[in-house]
Structure 1
């Protein structure tokens, strides 16, 4: 597992860690039962505070991505289909918001956006 942090992104470090680990789990790069680095090891490797990695792991646990076993570490939990759907919906909303912002800057209206989306979905069906 590789985590890359940016001090200039405006996103808190713990959030970057949480998002990258969560994305790796959703993408199947980290599977059920896989062990994560300890908070100390991850903090050392990323050269950040243990408090930061602890918060990221705590939030991942709170969202059902990982579980911790005292003395053994943190492990990837089985994916709950409702959790996966919620995370994917959030990604779609973020992507659509970015597209909407770009369309607004380009002066595109609703009909043009729907036309673009229909075209993309049609092209995807042809390649499937």
Structure 2
């Protein structure tokens, strides 16, 4: 599996792994019941600690993206459309929050940000 880790990023490595695997599931690159690489295999491939990969897999399991079967490995869970839609909404919300913070840091008022949002929305 092709994942890219940015060691100079402020984002923890396990979160980078989680984000990239979730994106692959949501974009159909990883299908339901697809086996993920073992923790050790992915850790070796990414040159990171096995504990880091284990933590990423645990987060993916908690969020419903992965099922882990003891002794067999981790597999992509049922591609729940509702769950995927919720994840995409979270991404949009995060992007909007970043844009608002950036606008405010440039001295824009809330009404200016709203007007700009409306203009962009019309396109």
Q: TM-score, normalised by structure 2?
A: 0.89
Q: Give how far 1:79 is off.
A: 2.4
Q: Give how far 1:61 is off.
A: 0.6
| 1:49 partnered with 2:45 | no
Unaligned stretches of 5+ residues in structure 1: 124-128
Listed one character per residue, the Cα deviations across residues 37-79 of structure 1 (whole Å, up to 9, x for unaligned) are 1111100101111111111101101110011223332111122
Listed one character per residue, the Cα deviations across residues 91-111 of structure 1 (whole Å, up to 9, x for unaligned) are 112101110111112222222
Q: TM-score, normalised by structure 1?
A: 0.85
Q: Runs of 4 or more off by more than 4 Å in structure 1?
A: none
Q: Give how far 1:86 is off.
A: 2.5
* Residue number in structure 2 paired with 1:126: none
Unaligned stretches of 5+ residues in structure 2: none
Q: Secondary structure at the match of 2:7?
A: coil
Q: Secondary structure at the match of 2:116?
A: helix
| 1:92 partnered with 2:95 | no
* Residue number in structure 1 paired with 2:36: 36
Tell me how far apart the structure 1 counterparts of residues 10 and 110 of structure 2 sit (CA, whole Å).
31
Tell me how far apart the structure 2 counterparts of residues 69 and 19 of structure 1 sit (CA, whole Å).
22
CA RMSD of aligned residues (A): 1.6
Q: Secondary structure at the match of 2:68?
A: strand
Tell me how far apart the structure 1 counterparts of residues 121 and 78 of structure 2 sit (CA, whole Å).
31
Between the two proteins, the alignment pairs up a number of residues equal to 123
